[in-house]
A and B are shown apart, each in its own frame.
Chain A
């Protein structure tokens, strides 16, 4: 199956700083990528849909200015957590669909553990 990578796998940052997380589709092109957030022992919550060449679509309640998404190419989407605070500490997972429209498979990255101190 297709492979999606994320970098870094773990990051610790100080409160007030910004952190960038990369999501790459390694062997296929993805015009769309999805960003999820998962708190400990909880479900994955869809944060936003990243679209190559256009603005991301954010889910209700997700702050656009805090979680900046840039879909720079057909294989790369980045999520930047700006002015991070301890409550932003979470597991961030990206995914990318691959296949025919409607019947595509959604492949997940391994996740990035963000800890804000």
Chain B
């Protein structure tokens, strides 16, 4: 069975500092990995995904994530955080099969202080 772990309920950083939001996964076969962001009372916004290819994936709003197969991790990073990055972040995984749904981690609240 697929699963995703986001070990931190909350991450706090100061504006301008680098940020990391952690994610580890478990899936049989090759994983498809995703990061989404959710602002209060809003739907999900896609940030980036890893399907295959380069382990470092660049996405929207300056975010990037590194796929590490040996550590089964897909941590989200940004070199310089903005206050507007404050939101709820979800890591998700699915198997490489047609008709399978994304399974989400519990989410990590990112708080960026000015």
Contacts of A46 in B (CB 8 A): 101-103
**B43:A108 contact, CB within 8 angstroms:** yes
**Complex CA distance for A104 and B101, rounded to whole angstroms:** 11
Binds B, one of A13-21, A65-73, A77-85, A95-103: A95-103
**Complex CA distance for A88 and B26, rounded to whole angstroms:** 30
A20 CB to closest chain B CB (Å) equals: 19
**B104:A113 contact, CB within 8 angstroms:** no
Contact partner of A111 among B34, B43, B99, CB < 8 A?
Answer: B43
**A110:B98 contact, CB within 8 angstroms:** no
Contacts of B70 in A (CB 8 A): none
- Is B107 part of the contact surface with A, judged by Cβ < 8 Å? yes
**B106:A43 contact, CB within 8 angstroms:** yes
Contact partner of B102 among A1, A95, A103, A111, CB < 8 A?
Answer: A95
Contacts of B101 in A (CB 8 A): 34, 46, 49, 95, 106
Count B interface residues, CB 8 Å.
25
**Complex CA distance for A108 and B37, rounded to whole angstroms:** 12
Q: A93-B44, A102-B98 are in contact. Are A44 and B90 (CB under 8 A)?
A: yes
Q: How extensive is the interface on chain A, given as a class?
A: 20 to 34
The A/B interface has a contact count, at CB < 8 Å, of: 53
**Complex CA distance for A109 and B51, rounded to whole angstroms:** 22
**Complex CA distance for A109 and B38, rounded to whole angstroms:** 12
**B107:A42 contact, CB within 8 angstroms:** yes
**A109:B103 contact, CB within 8 angstroms:** no
Contacts of B51 in A (CB 8 A): 103
Q: Which residue of A lies closest to B88 (CB)?
A: A41
**Complex CA distance for A36 and B38, rounded to whole angstroms:** 14
**A43:B99 contact, CB within 8 angstroms:** no
- Is B71 part of the contact surface with A, judged by Cβ < 8 Å? no
- Give 1 or 0 for each of B27-43: 1 = CB within 8 Å of chain A CB: 00000101010000111
- Is A32 part of the contact surface with B, judged by Cβ < 8 Å? yes
**Complex CA distance for A34 and B90, rounded to whole angstroms:** 17
Question: Interface of A with B (CB < 8 Å)?
Answer: 1, 32, 34, 36, 41-46, 49, 93, 95, 97, 101-106, 108-111, 113
